[in-house]
């Protein structure tokens, strides 16, 4: 056993969706710092370009502006990435919508469904040529779906499509993991707890210690850090996680263990 290589991902090519901020940015930074060539995808040109410029301080980072909620956006990413090999695909892009059930708009539910569940499936399907090219029996290509603790437990808010799609993503991870294993492609998920992001800013005031304390997990009143999420991604992407598929790792201080 070469313990120095156990979590090594240097030289691999990775793609992270929703990479312009929040958890996606944290993951992209972790992979770039670890020596990966990283593509980051987000809808807004200015945002993804600025993120890539900042991340380039840590390694090779290429921005792709595309709306993954559309077939055209998925096709645009596939056209660029399928020209080479892809070792790691992180399906992180997502959105939420909250409203009382009596007022919940159909368009809100459909928007969340398209980006949180349909887009990861369509992008994974479309990038299979590049994933197959980067896969071997000893070192499978990795698909990592970013779900949520709210896919494992009931949330505190009326965010019906968010929790439903994240729960669906967890089960789809198991389904894809079963059928892609024969092609040396593993599919796993991470279910993050509370991390700072534009999405979570709408429900928690991170500048208020009492608000953060109210979201305390069994491991204490704090929020997730780049090290927390990057560590899980590096585990699943490296030799250390090469014999896993169809699993979901909760990264939320134990919040997935409580109602």
Catalytic residue positions?
Answer: 162
* Residue partners of 54: CB distance under 8 A and separation at least 6: none
Pairing mode of beta strands 185-192, 248-251 = parallel
H or E segment and range at residue 38: strand 37-42
Contact 116, 165 (CB under 8 A): yes
DSSP H helical ranges for 181-237:
198-201, 209-214, 226-237
Pairing mode of beta strands 248-251, 61-65 = unpaired
Which residue has tokens 């892609």?
180
Query: Three-state SS for 51?
Result: helix
């Amino acid at each position: 056993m070469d313990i120095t290589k156990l979590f090594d991902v240097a030289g691999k090519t990775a793609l992270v969706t929703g990479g312009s901020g929040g958890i996606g940015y944290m993951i992209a930074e972790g992979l770039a710092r670890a020596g990966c060539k990283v593509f980051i995808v987000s809808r807004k040109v200015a945002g993804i370009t600025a993120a890539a410029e900042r991340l380039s301080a840590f390694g090779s980072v290429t921005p792709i502006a595309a709306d993954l909620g559309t077939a055209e956006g998925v096709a645009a990413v596939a056209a660029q990435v399928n020209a080479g090999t892809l070792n790691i695909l992180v399906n992180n892009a997502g959105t939420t919508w909250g409203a009382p059930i009596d007022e919940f708009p159909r368009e809100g539910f459909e928007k969340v469904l398209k980006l949180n569940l349909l887009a990861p499936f369509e992008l994974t399907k479309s990038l299979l040529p590049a994933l197959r090219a980067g896969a071997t029996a000893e070192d499978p290509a990795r698909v990592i779906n970013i779900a949520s603790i709210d896919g494992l437990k009931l949330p505190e808010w009326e965010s019906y499509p968010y929790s439903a799609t994240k729960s669906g993503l967890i089960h789809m991870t198991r389904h894809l993991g079963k059928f892609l294993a024969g092609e040396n492609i593993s599919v796993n998920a991470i279910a993050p707890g509370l991390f700072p992001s534009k999405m979570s800013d709408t429900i928690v005031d991170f500048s208020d210690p009492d608000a953060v304390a109210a979201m305390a997990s069994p491991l204490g009143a704090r929020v997730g850090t780049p090290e927390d999420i990057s560590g899980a991604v590096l585990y699943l992407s490296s030799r250390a996680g090469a014999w896993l598929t169809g699993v979901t790792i909760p990264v939320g201080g134990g919040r997935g263990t409580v109602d």
